Amino acid sequence: MTLLWIPLLPLFGTLVPLLADRFGRRVTLAATAFIPALALVCLLSLMPQVLAGEVIHWQTAWLANAGLSLAFHLDGLGLLFSILILGIGLLVLLYARYYLSDDDHMGRFYAFLLLFMSAMLGVVLSDNLLQLWAYWELTSISSFLLISFWWHKTEARKGARMALTITGAGGLALLAAFILIGETVGSYSLTEVLASGDLLRGSTAYPLIIALFLLGAFTKSAQFPFHFWLPHAMAAPTPVSSYLHSATMVKAGVFLLARFYPVLAGTELWFGVVSLVGLATLLVGAYTALFKHDLKGLLAYSTISHLGLITLLFGLDTPLAAIAAVFHIINHAVFKASLFMAAGIIDHEAGSRDMRQLNGMWKYMPYTATLAMVAAASMAGVPLLNGFLSKEMLFAETLSQHTLGSLSWIIPVLATLGGALAVAYSLRFIHDVFFNGEPINLPRTPHEPPRYMRVPVEILVVICLLVGVVPDITVGALLRIAAGAVLQGPLPDFSLAIWHGFNMPLVMSLLAVVGGSLLYINRRHLFDFQGQFSEIDAKVEFEKYIQLLIGRATALQQWIDNGKLQRYITYLMVLTLVVAGWPLLELAEAHGSKPEQAIQWPMVLATFVVIIATVATMIFSHLRLLSLIMISIVGLVVAIAFAYFSAPDLALTQLSVEVATIVLFLLALFFLPQKTPLRESSIQRIVRDLGIASAIGAVIGTLCYVMLTRPLHSISDFFIENSKTGGGGTNVVNVILVDFRGFDTMGEITVLAIAALGIFKLLAGMRLYIPRADQDGVAWSPDKHPMMLALVSQSLLPLALLISAYIFLRGHNLPGGGFIAGLITAIALIQQYIGHGVSWMKERMDFPYHYMVAIGLSLAILTGLGSWLYQRPFLTTWFDYFYWPVVGKFELASAMVFDLGVYFTVIGATLLILSNLGKLTTGERPKAGDK
C-alpha cells in the first residue's frame, strides 16, 4: 500500500492548494509542499529494499478480461526517476512561491503542478502498459495546463496547443505500439513484457512496434524532427520550464527508451534509428542554442541537445552506453533545473531575458551569477562537475561502438563537435549575461532575489559539485541499481573515478573545450554565416498548417452538415440498412427451430396504438404540441409493454424518463413557433423515403423474427442465480446496475453529468424573451402560474419525495433504485418550478445543482475506491445481515452508497438542465418604440 500512495498523494493533493489559497501564499506553499514531501518519505522508506535488489509490486484487478489492472512496481529505474520528480518538484514549489506575482493564482498553479507530478510518477511506476499510457497522456494534458497558465498571452496559448498536438499525436502512436506489444506477449503486464524480449524481437510485428514506439518517445522528448515544439513551451512560467526540462515531460521519452531497452534494443534497426536520431538532435539542438538571444531559448535548445545525447547513448550497442545514459539523466536534471531557475531569477529581477540587454549581471547579482556559472560549467562538461563525468562516458562509448560499420568513426567525431558546441553556448551564457559590459535599457535595475528564492538553486549547484567530486559516494548505488533495471542483467565493470589517466576520451574532452572556446571567440563569423538564412518560426508554420486543416475540415463539415434534418436521418437509416441487412443475405432460412407463439390480442392492440400514434406524429408534425402528445403515447405504450413482460424496473424508468422528456420538450418548444409551415414533398422524395422506410422495416422485422424463433442462450441465468448470494439483493436488475455492471453504471452517470454541465454552460448567458402571443396573434394568458397548478404541485411534493425515498430504499430487493428515485425527485421539484415560477423556487431552494452532480459522482467513485482498502477490485460490493431489537434482521450493502451517488447525480443533472432552461427568459420583448 505504501507504493500506491506515492503516485496517488499528489493526485489527491491537487485540491489542497485550491482550498488553502485563501489563507495566503505562505500557508498555500506549506500545505502544498507537505503532499510531495509525504510521498517522498514513502518513497525513501522503500529505498533500502530497492537498493538491496528487490522489486516492489502492488496490484489490484480492474478490468482483468481486458488486460487492465491497477498495478505499480518500484525498481531501480523507477526509484531514480521518482526521486528526481519529487525532489526537484519540491524545490520548484518553493521557487514558484517567490517567482509568481501577486496577480497570478498560486493555488491553481500548484494544483496543475501536482497533477503534472502525479502523472509523471504514474508513468515511471506503472506496471501495466495501458495504465502507463493513460498516465502518459495525462502528462500531455497537465503540461498543456501549465504551459498555458498565462493564458492571456497568445504565445502561451499557441505554445501549449503545439505541445499538446505533437505529444498527443505521439501518444496515439505509442498506444498502438503498446497494443501490439500486449497482443504479441499475451499480457499487458510490464513485468511479463520485460521478460519477453526474444519473443518481441522475433515477432513479425517488431518493425511496426519499433516505428510506433519511437514515434511516441521521440515526440515527447523533442527529438529531431519533432524538436520544434519544446522552445515554444518556454512561454510557460519559468518554474514550469525548470520542472519540464529537468525531471518531467521531456524526460518521459528517454525514460521510455530506458524502460523498454532490454526488450526492444539489441537489433540493428533499434541501434541504427535511435543512434542517428539522437546524434542529429544533439547537433541540431547545440548549434541552434548558440544563436539564441533569449535566455530561456538558449537553455531550451541546450535541453534538446542533451536529450539527443541521452538518446544517442541508448542507441549505441554497448551496455556501458546505457549506463552512461542513465548517469546523464541524473546530471542533466540537476544542472538544467538550476540553470532555468537562475534564468528565472535574472528575468524576475532585471525584467528581461534578452541576452543583448543582459550584460554585466555579475556586478548586480554576484551570488546568483556564481551559482549560474557553476551550473553552466557543468552543462559544458568542465572537470570536477557532474556533467563532465557522463560526457566522458559518452566519448568513451562512441569509440567502442560499431553501429554504422565502417562509418562508425563518424559518431565520435560528431559527438566531439557536439561537445564543442555545448562549450560554446555555455560560454556565451556566462560571458554575455554576467560580463560583457553594462546592461542596456533594462526595464528595472537588477539586484539579488529574496533569500529563499535562491535556496533551490543552491541545493542543486551543491549536488553538481558533490557528484562531480565524489560521484561514487553520492550517486554510485542509485546509478547501479537504476542501470541494472535498464539492462535487466549483471552490470559490466565501470568506474566513476574522476581520473582515468590520459586517454582518448580525455583528449576528446580537451578538444571539445578548446574547440568550443575558439567557436565562441570567433562567434561573429558564425553569426554572419547564420544570418544568411531566414529564420523559420515553427509556431507560425505550425499555426498555418493548423488553420489549413481547420479550413479543410470546415469545408467537409459544411458539405455534410447542410442544416437539413431529413438528410441526416436518411444517411443514418441507409447506414443502418447496410450494416444490419448485409449479414441477412447469407441467412439461408429465417424460421428457426422454436415454434411460433400464439397471437396475443392485447399486444396487437398496443402495437396498433403505437402505429396510429406514429403515423399521426408524421402527419401532424407541423403542429408541434400535438405531435409531442402523440410521441408521449408511444412512450406510455412502451412502458405498458415493459410491465406486461414482467420488467417493472424498466417500466418505472420508462415512465419517469418519459415525464422528464416531455417537460424538457415543453420548455424548449415554448421558445419556438407553435406551428411549422406545411410543405409538400416531391413525388421523388416521397418514393425515396417510402422505399428506405420499407427496407428498414423489413430488415428489422426479419431480425426480430429470426431471434424469436431461435433458442436464446442468455447470461441472465447467471445473474439470477448469483444475485442474492453475490450481490445481496433479490432485484436482479438493480444488483446488475450497482454490482455486476457497476462500472458501466458509473460510466453512464459520468456521461450524464458531463452532458448536463455542457448544457448548463451552453445556456449560461443566453437570454430569450417570453412571447406575447402565438403565431396567430392570440395573446398568451397573463396568468403565468395558475393557482390550481401551484396548489396541486405543492401538495404533491411531500408525497412524491416520500415515494422517491421508498423507491430508493427498496431498490436492492424490489423494483426501484437510485435512478428511478432520482427521476421522481427531480420531476417533483421541476413541477414546483412550473407551478410557482423560477423566482419563487429560488427564494426557497437556491442550491447550485452542479454541486449535487459532483457529490453524486464523488460518492460513486469513493465507493469503488473503498474496495481497494480491502485489496479488492474496484467497485467490489460488500453486504452483510444484522439484527436490531424491534427491527429484527436487516441488510446493509455498500451498493446502497453507490446507488445514492446515482440518485444525487440524476437529480443534479436533471434539474441542472431543466431549471436552467426555465431561467432563460428575461421578460417580455419590448414593443416598438419602447425605451
pLDDT digits (tens, 9 = 90+) for 805-834: 999 988 888 888 899 999 999 988 888 888
Report the distance separating Cα 852 and Cα 702, nearest Å.
45
**List of E strands, 712-812:** 768-770
Handedness of CA 113, 114, 119, 121 (dihedral sign): positive
CA distances from 770 to 623, 762, 923 (A): 20, 19, 6
Chain center to CA of 322: 31
Task: Kindly report the backbone phi and psi dihedral angles of residue 58, in degrees, each rounded to the nearest multiple of 5, phi listed first.
Answer: -145, 130
Report the distance separating Cα 903 and Cα 804, nearest Å.
10
From 530, 554, 573, the end of a domain falls on 530
Is the separation of the CB atoms in 387 and 333 below 8 Å? no
pLDDT at 77: 95
Report the distance separating Cα 656 and Cα 474, nearest Å.
68
Q: How do beta strands 921-924 and 768-770 pair?
A: parallel
In a domain, 111, yes or no: no
Q: Please count the structural domains in the chain.
A: 2
The per-residue pLDDT for range 772-793, each reduced to its tens digit, is: 666 666 666 666 777 887 888 8
Is the separation of the CB atoms in 737 and 745 below 8 Å? yes
Cell 432520482 sits at which residue? 822
In a domain, 368, yes or no: yes
In a domain, 147, yes or no: no
* Nearest in space to 894 (alpha carbons), one of 810, 812, 802, 807: 812
Is the separation of the CB atoms in 128 and 68 below 8 Å? yes
Q: Would you mind telling me the total number of residues written for the chain in this entry?
A: 931
895-918 vs 849-866: helix axis angle to the nearest 10?
Answer: 160
Report the distance separating Cα 131 and Cα 128, nearest Å.
5
CA distances from 93 to 96, 112, 141 (A): 5, 11, 20
Read off the C-alpha cell for 862: 469513493
Q: How do beta strands 68-74 and 56-63 pair?
A: antiparallel
Task: Indicate left, alpha or beta for 203 from its phi (over 0: left) and psi (-120 to 50: alpha).
Answer: beta
In a domain, 503, yes or no: yes
* Nearest in space to 126 (alpha carbons), one of 139, 141, 111, 142: 139
DSSP state of 775: T
Report the distance separating Cα 21 and Cα 896, nearest Å.
35
DSSP state of 75: -
* Nearest in space to 279 (alpha carbons), one of 413, 424, 425: 413
Angle at CA of residue 317, ends 182 and 409, nearest 5°: 145
From 530, 555, 585, the end of a domain falls on 530
Cell 541545493 sits at which residue? 459
Report the distance separating Cα 772 and Cα 781, nearest Å.
9
| Domain encompassing residue 468 | 285-530
Side chain identity, residue 219: T
Q: Taking the CB of residue 713, how many other CB atoms lie within 10 A of it? A: 7
Chain center to CA of 338: 29
Report the distance separating Cα 284 and Cα 22, nearest Å.
46
In a domain, 784, yes or no: yes
In a domain, 66, yes or no: no
In a domain, 279, yes or no: no
Side chain identity, residue 258: A
Residues of the chain with pLDDT under 70: 1, 63-67, 403-406, 500, 671-680, 765-783, 887, 918-931
In a domain, 203, yes or no: no
From 506, 530, 554, the end of a domain falls on 530
Helices assigned H by DSSP within 126-196: 129-147, 154-185, 190-194
Report the distance separating Cα 500 and Cα 488, nearest Å.
27
